[in-house]
Chain A
Amino acid sequence: MSRWEKLKRNPRAAWAAFILIAVLLAVLPFLADTLLSRSWVRIIDFVLLYIILALGLNIVVGFAGLLDLGYVAFFAVGAYLYALLASPHFGIHLPFWALLPLGAGVTCIFGVLLGAPTLRLRGDYLAIVTLGFGEIIRIFLNNLNAPINITNGPQGVNKIDPVSFGGFSLNQSHQLFDINFPSVHNYYYLFLALTILVIFISMRLQDSRIGRAWVAVREDEVAAKAMGINTRNIKLLAFAMGASFGGVGGGLFAGFQGFISPESFTLIESIMILCMVVLGGMGNIAGVVLGVVLLVVLPEALRYIGPFEQALFGRVIVDPADLRMLIFGLALILVMLFRPAGLLPSTIRKREFEAEDEVEAQNGARA
């Protein structure tokens, strides 16, 4: 029996754990602000943003098994949609509550458009085509500044409206019960709410008729077809759902940063999000969250190596910037060597071990 199962059977402990996590999440930005620094709150904001993105990619890669190397395209579409409709660039300033569903909807359509030509492809071929699509979107964004200036080209879009609800702008500090909430804290709570929503949707989808159909397509497409699954529609649905998560993430990113340019949406970004999904445990939501936390926090934490070297040797021997990527790469290789299914592999394997444990327990009771 896993710890999780035990928790479920002990409601009091479950509630205690739940309240503890809720309180921890509620005070996390203040903790990080006082214990570390304000820039760590910003890093935590990015963790939440990447969880939204990675869970979107997890639907495509983890659930449906479609290796998508161009996922950042949807992130870009979402970000640019927000930027163009809420900035002085066109002089349009749509409110956030309208932009968020619009971004999800438009990227959903992009997901279907980019997914449709790839339906017959699998594995490496699919990866190459999606990689191409990702680059096409980025190059379009880079070059759509002439003859008509739509995206403002490589300069990007500036002065994007911050996220605001009515007159309540998240970009300003607010006072509540004598507590000061700076901008990064405000964004933290918004991102946290949306991350919880996205986790909730992912969990519900995974454990449903649709989720099973995705896994069936991943495991054996021919058998899935023979069982009456319309594989074309179910794959397009995965692309659309994943893309809409990416679009929401893009919109949040644009509002949070206030400035975007095509440089933010390169191939390496797609690879990083894919790494988060694979490292944590493809198909497992908790694993993906863990993967994101590690891959966002680790490179930042490794910056402290500089001062550490200074304290230890009296001078900086290796530049932390060099060491950072080295250790980062090494960590990735080690994880893949020792935990090839990811840090937290998907639950199905655990479930089987539980079944075996139960059989053993029953046998033991009988003996």
Chain B
Amino acid sequence: MTLLEARSVSKHFGGLLALDEVNLSLQNGEIYGLIGPNGAGKTTLFNVLTGLYSPDHGEFFFNGEKLIATKPHMIAERGIARTFQNIRLFGNMSALENVMVGRHVRTRAGVIGAVLRDARTREEEDGIRSRAFALLQYVGIAEYANNLSSHLSYGDQRRLEIARALATEPKLLALDEPAAGMNATETAGLKKLLEIIRGDGVTILLIEHDVKLVMGLCDRVAVLDYGKKIAEGSPQQVQRDPAVIEAYLGGV
């Protein structure tokens, strides 16, 4: 079943066409890779998908419904969570609190509940805390729960961002270069984590430069170049595609 479909999505900044009639479709439960040279429009596609930018043209269908909501918080509510290429954690909050913020969209308590702290609010708050802690264990950084997120190592910050995104209970997890800056061991650990996440029924959309990771992990891969999708298919197919080779190595 199709989870996400992008239909001829376009976006330009001034004279620069960052996305040119891009069509994508992601199946439920797959890991879908999005690759391409720097400046190909991968992150722009993420930003348009998650509502940070509005597309000039085209539309997204998610879970069978058109994504009319254009505000980022509504997108998160619909079940799309993301991480950022340049890690964007809440630096002065502990790791646990970062994940607790992720529960915001699935919880209700308002000012009155917060002040009176009635039974329902207390119950909800306990649920937030235990769920957040469980997610830290899930990504393997529970021992740093009380550390400031900005004091975690680079690889652990990436993991924390994934835990925070998972806290919103997404159907689709969009990861923007999660392995950037990781060493080989950390990348292998990340690969394992992503496979577990997929095994738990979350579809993953992955932007990545680490070719080995993409080829070993993704079920299908799309290649963007100058805002256009130039190839799509299994990692093996895409690797052999002459258009892809030309985009990466330059025209001869």
Q: Which of B81, B90, B125 contacts A215 (CB 8 A)?
A: B90
Cβ of A355 within 8 Å of any chain B Cβ, yes or no, is yes
Residue pair A226, B82 in contact (C-beta under 8 Å): yes
CB 8 Å contact bits of B76-114 with A (1 = contact, 0 = none): 110001101000111111100100111111110111011
Bound CA span A226–B214, Å: 24
Q: Any chain A CB within 8 A of the CB of B203?
A: no
Which of the candidate stretches A7-15, A228-236, A246-254, A308-316 sits at the interface with the other chain? A228-236
**Complex formed: what's the CA distance from A99 to B15 in Å?**
58
Determine if B115 is an interface residue (Cβ-Cβ < 8 Å). Answer: yes
The answer to whether A212 has its CB under 8 Å from any CB of chain B is yes
A210, A211, A228 — which one has the most chain B CB atoms within 10 A of its CB? A228
Q: Which residues of A contact B10 (CB under 8 A)?
A: none
Report if A237 contacts B (CB, 8 A). yes
Contact: B104 with A351, CB < 8 Å?
A: no
> Which residues of the partner chain B approach A219 to less than 8 Å between Cβ atoms?
89-93
Residues of A contacting B237 with CB < 8 Å?
A: none
In the complex, A72→B164 CA distance in Å?
Answer: 38
**Which residue of B77, B106, B111, B148 is within 8 Å of A205 (Cβ)?**
B111
Residues in B52-83 with C-beta less than 8 Å from chain A:
52, 71-73, 76-77, 81-82
Interface residues of B (CB under 8 A from A): 50-52, 71-73, 76-77, 81-82, 84, 88-94, 97, 100-107, 109-111, 113-115, 117, 121, 124-125, 128, 146-148, 151, 164-165, 167-168
A237 to B104, CA, bound (A): 15
Choice from A204, A210, A223, A348 contacting B148 with Cβ under 8 Å: A348
Give the Cβ gap from A91 to chain B, nearest Cβ, in Å: 36
* Docked CA distance A348–B90 (Å): 12
The smallest beta-carbon distance between A321 and chain B, in angstroms, is: 40
Name A168-225 residues within 8 Å CB distance of B: 200-201, 204-205, 208-213, 215-216, 219-220, 222-225
Bound-complex Cα distance A231 to B93 (A): 18
Q: What is the size category of the interface that chain A forms with chain B?
A: 20 to 34
Q: How far is the CB of B244 from chain A (nearest CB, A)?
A: 30
B111 → chain A, closest Cβ, in Å?
A: 6
Contact A355 B146 (CB under 8 A): yes
List 12 contacting pairs A-B, 8 Å CB cutoff, sorted by A.
Answer: A200-B115, A205-B111, A205-B115, A219-B89, A222-B84, A225-B51, A225-B52, A226-B81, A227-B76, A228-B168, A348-B97, A355-B147
Tell me if B110 and A210 are in contact (CB < 8 A).
Answer: yes
Tell me how far the C-beta of B165 lies from the nearest C-beta in chain A, rounded to whole angstroms: 8
Q: Is the CB of A351 within 8 A of B94?
A: yes
Question: Given that A216-B90, A223-B84, A352-B151 are known contacts, is A237 also in contact with B50, CB under 8 Å in the complex?
Answer: no
| Chain A residue, CB-CB nearest to B167 | A227
Contact pick for A208, options B52, B109, B146, CB 8 Å: B109
Q: Is A60 an interface residue (CB 8 A)?
A: no
Asked whether A220 lies within 8 Å of B90 as measured between CB atoms, the reply is: yes
A232 to chain B, nearest CB (A): 9
